[in-house]
Amino acid sequence: MIVGFDAKRVLRNGTGLGSYGRTLVNSLPAAEGGMELLLYAPDEGRDDLRRQVQLRPGVRIVCPEGLRFRLQRDWWRSHGIVKQLKSDGVSLYHGLSGELPFGLRAAGIPGIVTIHDLIFLRHPEYYNWIDVQIYKRKFLHTLREADRIIAISECTKRDILHYGSFPADRIDVVYQSCSQRFRQPVSEAALREVASRYRLPQRYVLNVGTIEERKNVLLAVRALQQLPQDVHLVVVGRRTRYADRVQKYIESHGLAGRVSFLHGVPDAHLYAIYRGAECFVYPSRYEGFGIPVIEAIQSGLPVVACTGSCLEEAGGDSCLYVAPDDVGGMAAAIGHSLQGSEGREQRVAAGLAYIARFENSDIAAQVVEEYHKVLRGRQ
């Protein structure tokens, strides 16, 4: 079986869609021997991310030659690639980031796509109008090209069925796998070095993710006012204009000394920042899955998250959940998750047991079975 992949995000995105693709591609060879994996990308991407792809016999990156301009590369990814897939004898094509190229079905090439979320349809207020129209067009086109769909959560599957027309029996939920690197122990020396480098407070609650309106970090900031004065909030993520609103609230409510924002933190340091926290908060209003929740549990942290999307699927019953506008509930849940709180260690242990279902080998085996379903459906 020769499997082609849309690898643009694999080579371009450090987190999110890129992390999903790299983790999956690296784990597939162990799930089934004899597969050839061809990673198609419009350019060579970032050197550091390319090095994270475990190239070996039967696994290679394929880039077109002579495409100097972005419009050329975009056209190749959405149209021109089909001719090359046909020439390379690809058995099926996997769109890793919610898209399939035009003409795939007409060329007789089976297609499967992973859809991570439909937030642009569920919450269009977080996007500009033209982007929503573009994403919607791509989504509806992908439904026409796909033989099967992998949804990364039951929440995402429900959204696909709500917003699109596609047979439910050809949509399977295969959870996003998570790297085991956050389980690795961090030395005391590394903890001290990272704490010093980033001036981390003695006691802190951690949030990781883009600082944008949908992620709702302001809820955690407001909850901080109801927590002990020596408890701080550390936020790791890229800033957007929403961060300015959060900063104004912090300054106007005397919280400037209790909230820290960090950006551009390398993974090696992020592991230690997780390990040094007392608990993890993820107050997002809507997610397709919520990998940071799993990373926090792997790091031995209790988690407080919000209801309304898929986060209960990611974290299981061991996490505490509150409504995304419930400041008092968020403060109480964080209080129940700080060091020394009753039941904290039991919830951490239960969380570690729950996330075993997201082990890479299990997820890869499920994806391989999806490939076989696609091929059987074409026979």
- If one compares 161 and 23, the residue with the highest pLDDT of the two is 161
Distance CA 251, CA 130 (A): 34
What's the pTM? Answer: 0.90
308: left (phi over 0), alpha (psi -120 to 50) or beta: left
Report residue 268's pLDDT band, with 50, 70 and 90 as the boundaries. confident
- Please give the full DSSP string across 16-77, using - where no structure is assigned: THHHHHHHHHHHHHHHSTT-EEEEE-SS---HHHHHHS--BTTEEEE--SS--SHHHHHHII
N residues, the chain:
379
134-140-144 Cα angle (round to 5): 140
Residue with tokens 């990611």: 314
Question: What is the pLDDT, as a whole number, of residue 184?
Answer: 87
Domains, the chain, ranges and CATH?
A: 1-176+360-375 (3.40.50.2000), 181-357 (3.40.50.2000)
Instruction: State which H helix or E strand residue 85 sits in.
Output: helix 81-87
User: Quick one: tokens of 71?
Assistant: 């419009």
What average pLDDT does the chain have? 95
- Look at residue 176 and tell me whether its pLDDT is greater than 80: yes
- Are 323 and 308 contacting, i.e. CB atoms less than 8 angstroms apart? yes
Residue 210: which of 13, 8, 12, 7 has the closest Cα? 13
Question: What is the pLDDT, as a whole number, of residue 378?
Answer: 84
Q: What does the pLDDT look like over 188-239, one tens digit per residue?
A: 999 999 999 999 999 999 999 999 999 999 999 999 999 999 999 999 999 9
- Look at residue 179 and tell me whether its pLDDT is greater than 90: no
- Look at residue 373 and tell me whether its pLDDT is greater than 90: yes
User: Quick one: tokens of 200?
Assistant: 């981390």
Distance CA 135, CA 128 (A): 11
Question: What is the pLDDT, as a whole number, of residue 110?
Answer: 98
- Are 305 and 209 contacting, i.e. CB atoms less than 8 angstroms apart? no
Over residues 119-139, mean pLDDT: 96
Residue 266 has phi, psi (to 5 degrees) of: -70, 155
Q: What does the pLDDT look like over 128-137, one tens digit per residue?
A: 999 999 999 9
Residue with tokens 């085996």: 365
Eight-state DSSP code of residue 93 = E
Q: What does the pLDDT look like over 321-332, one tens digit per residue?
A: 999 999 999 999
282 Cβ neighbours under 8 A, 6+ residues apart: 207, 209, 290, 292, 293, 296, 303, 304, 305, 306, 311
Question: What is the pLDDT, as a whole number, of residue 19?
Answer: 87
Distance CA 256, CA 364 (A): 45
Share of the chain above pLDDT 70, in %: 100
How many C-beta neighbours within 10 Å does residue 155 have?
Answer: 24
Residue type, 3: V
Q: What does the pLDDT look like over 302-360, one tens digit per residue?
A: 999 999 999 999 999 999 999 999 999 999 999 999 999 999 999 999 999 999 888 77
